[in-house]
Structure 1
């Protein structure tokens, strides 16, 4: 595992990611959508293959994924992006189960 990936695994705040990867950001924006940005970055990183790459290339790719995730929420908002399950489910059509059918003969008992 590259040094960059090891370092990122130790990060505890979104701001740490921005600082380590040297990505400029608006603290007010990050305060509002930090979890969404980090979740989206994780989704993007999951599609990357870092095997055998030099650390400077790994860092450049991680920086690009953070910039891309941050940009997603500069152009849009969490309700449109829906990176979390609860937000995805909020727009899914709910199926209502039909009321149970009670035979008329059961009512006469």
Structure 2
């Protein structure tokens, strides 16, 4: 598939991990997706958040391939994408706003 220069609209129409991987032409194992699809999409979202305001097609493709590869060689517990796994590892996040609040 040849990417549209303004592919943001096309990406918004994608719904499943399979659709994202197919859109970007990234080969994948159905077995890996059966177990890690939500983790892969969340990790992709996290990587996009650090990629700047409007990453291009090639950047998005590389970030999705990286997110997928994270779960080919690892597992959900180790990668700790979701809060439940972070808490299980003893990782807690505290907002800046909650630090130093006046006590009643």
- Please report the TM-score for the alignment, with normalisation by the length of structure 1: 0.73
Higher relative contact order structure (alpha carbons within 8 Å, sequence separation ≥ 6): 1
Residue 71 of structure 2 is matched in structure 1 by: 73
Equivalences for 1:15-26 in 2 at 5 Å? 15-26=18-29
Could you tell me which of 46, 49, 59 is aligned with 1:46?
49
**Equivalent residue, structure 2, for 1:62:** 60
CA RMSD of aligned residues (A): 1.7
Q: Number of aligned residue pairs: give it.
A: 87
Where structure 1 has 5 or more consecutive residues not aligned to the other structure, the ranges are 94-109
- Structure with max Cα Rg: 1
1:91 to 89, 92, 95: 89
Runs of 4 or more consecutive aligned structure 1 residues displaced over 4 Å after TM superposition: none
- Superposed displacement of residue 3, structure 1: 2.4
For 1:50 and 1:92, the matched residues in 2 are separated by 32
